[in-house]
Amino acid sequence: MTGALKGIRILDLTRVWSGPLAGRILADLGAEVIQVSGRVTVPRADYPPEVAKILAVFPDNEPGERPWNRTSANNDFHRNKLGITLELNTPEGVELFKRFVKISDVVLENYSPRVMPNFGLDYPSLSQINPAIILCSMPGYGSTGPYRDWVSYGTNLDPASGLASLMGYPGEEAHMSGNAYPDPIAALHAAGAILTALFHQRRTGKGQFIDLSQAESATSLIGEAVLGYTLNGKIPPRLGNRHPSQAPHGCYKCEGEDKWVAIAVSTDEEWAALCHVMESPELIDDQRFADSAGRCENQDAIDERIEAWTSQRPHHEAMRLLQEAGVPAGAVLDAAELFANEHLSERDFFWEIDHPEVGLRKYVALPMKFSKTPVQKTAWESITNMFSQKSWGFPKMRSPSSNKRALSATSQLIREIASTIAAFEFKERSRNGLY
């Protein structure tokens, strides 16, 4: 059994998070994804210890000699990919890239929209080389329109997309997510769009250009709120963790430091069950709390009673007691608790992957379980084993480059990359039965 996308080759030019995650999803699904990095995309090499500690991305906060091979983000986002370095701002680099395009299915990039045309690598040029090629561009605001050249990060798109306007403490300002959430939203849409184009390509032999906007990706996940505004004329207020028509609905303090449990009651039955678990059956008969409307109105009083109960016990215990009684509840997990979570462990959510420069580490799964085409859990058997890989040697989970020499487009490097492209071309012809 092999991954669903076996036989599909993808050139991934992306940086930061949104693009590399999109590429990684496709790699996890079994595509052959070649991460193409240039000098500017490789992180700097000199991290003072205090900076390394703030970043917290290196094993034991040690950047090592080749920090680009030791950052957790790189090793996660580039897992299951092959890594090469190639300078697209040199004519030789562009020529080599075009040879790759000829034998690939997809080019994925998240530069600002001027960059690919500047390289001479816009969609018309690529499609001339290979009419079946799919180019997916995913700049912040899309490839057209007045903001097309704006610089932006996920942290900007959070407020720009409207997402932040729906998050925040009651009556306070719009609140950004803690993790630049628009990035993974764009990644998932990009992966889906590329797969859709690949499906069409398999059927017709035709490639196409996908123009994805990261801002629009995020707004699409609050489409009902925008439509809703046109129906009732109301801008949704920020409610913290409360619900406009259901109560109690919130996040309650538990025993221990910064421990919380979320409780979301949506029916009278769940309310009664909650009262029983809290051993406060008198609340069930309290007329103020008899229905959702009443409970919403008197939520402060209810919250006080709930917190008096939750604060006496660990969050996991509160969750278990409530769930066993049929009340929707969830412990608010931090990274360590998530990592130790019994449910996630039993479902094999953490994958252990070996890497030559950081050793055996755990990473989150691609969260889809396929019955017939399981996702790639570890780096695949790389075809680069067939060839000498002096400057970018490790086949498994390769992050950009392995040494500084490889970062310059010297003639030596070009020769090596050329020989590797020849290897890919050889593989392609073999597959087509030409050898």
Partner 1 sequence: MQALEGIKVLDLSQLVSGSYCAKLLGALGAEIIKIETPARGDQARNAGPFLEDTPHPERSALFLYLNTNKKGITLNLETEAGVNIFKVLLKDADVLIENFKPGYMPGLGLGYETLEKINSSLVMVSVTDFGQTGPYKDYKGGRLVANALSGYMYINGNPEREPLAGGGEQPAYQGGLHAYAGIMAALISRETTGQGQYIDVSIMECMASIHQFTINRYVYSGKIQNRIGNRYMYSHPTTIYPCKDGYVSISPSMDEQAERMLLLMEMPHLLEDPRFETGFHRLAHAEEFDELVKPWFLERSKEEIVKLCQEWRVPAAYVNNVADLLDDEQYKARHYWVMLDHPETGMRPYAGPPFKMSETPTEYERAPLLGEHNDEIYLGRLGLSRDELEKLRENGVV
Query: What is the footprint of partner 1 within residues 42-61 (CB under 8 A)?
Result: 50-51, 53-61
**How many Cβ atoms are within 10 Å of 71's Cβ, its own excluded?**
20
Minimal distance, residue 403 CB to partner 1, in Å: 22
Among 197, 278, 283, 413, binds partner 1 (CB under 8 A): 197
DSSP state, residue 111:
S
Residue list 148-187, contact with partner 1 (CB under 8 A): 149-153, 155-169, 173-181, 184-187
Q: Judged by CB, which is closer to partner 1: 158, or 416?
A: 158
Q: Assign residue 175 a region: left if phi > 0, alpha if psi is -120 to 50, beta otherwise? A: beta
Q: Give the number of residues written for the chain.
A: 435
Least Cβ distance, residue 421 to partner 1 (angstroms): 25
Nearer to partner 1, 76 or 416 (CB): 76
Q: Which is nearer to partner 1, 221 or 414 (CB)?
A: 221
Q: How far is the CB of 391 from partner 1 (least distance, A)?
A: 26
151 vs 434, beta carbon nearer partner 1: 151
Report the nearest approach of partner 1 to the CB of residue 389 (Å): 25
List, edge to edge, every strand of the sheet that includes 106-109: 81-85, 32-37, 9-12, 106-109, 134-137
Phi and psi based region of residue 30 (left: phi greater than 0; alpha: psi -120 to 50; beta: remaining): left
Site for partner 1 in 345-364 (CB under 8 A): 346-347, 349, 358, 361-364
The Cα 112–Cα 229 span in angstroms is 32
Minimum CB–partner distance for residue 95 and partner 1 (Å): 25
What the block records as the tokens of 180 is: 């630049």
Task: Name which of 161, 76, 166 is nearest 397 in CA terms.
Answer: 76
Active-site residue, from 28, 105, 183, 303: 183
Compute the distance between CA of residue 353 and CA of residue 351 in angstroms, rounded to an integer.
6
334 is catalytic: no
- 254 to 273, contacts with partner 1 by CB under 8 A? 258, 260-264, 266
User: Which one of 103, 129, 365, 414 is in contact with partner 1 (CB under 8 A)?
Assistant: 365
Q: Which is nearer to partner 1, 338 or 422 (CB)?
A: 338
Taking the CA atoms of residue 212, residue 177, residue 73 and residue 220 in that order, the dihedral angle to the nearest 10 degrees is -20
276-335 positions binding partner 1, by CB under 8 A: 323, 326-335
Q: How far apart are CA 37 and CA 21, in angstroms?
A: 15
Total binding residues toward partner 1, as defined by CB under 8 A: 160
The yes or no reply on residue 122 touching partner 1 (CB under 8 A) is: no
Residue 166, Cβ density class (10 Å: 0-12 exposed, 13-18 middle, ≥19 buried): middle
Instruction: State the Cα–Cα distance between residues 88 and 38, nearest whole angstrom.
Output: 7
> Comparing C-alpha atoms, which of 56, 36, 125 is closest to residue 398?
36
Q: Scanning residues 210 to 229, which ones bind partner 1 (CB under 8 A)?
A: 210-217, 219-229
Residue numbers annotated as active site? 183
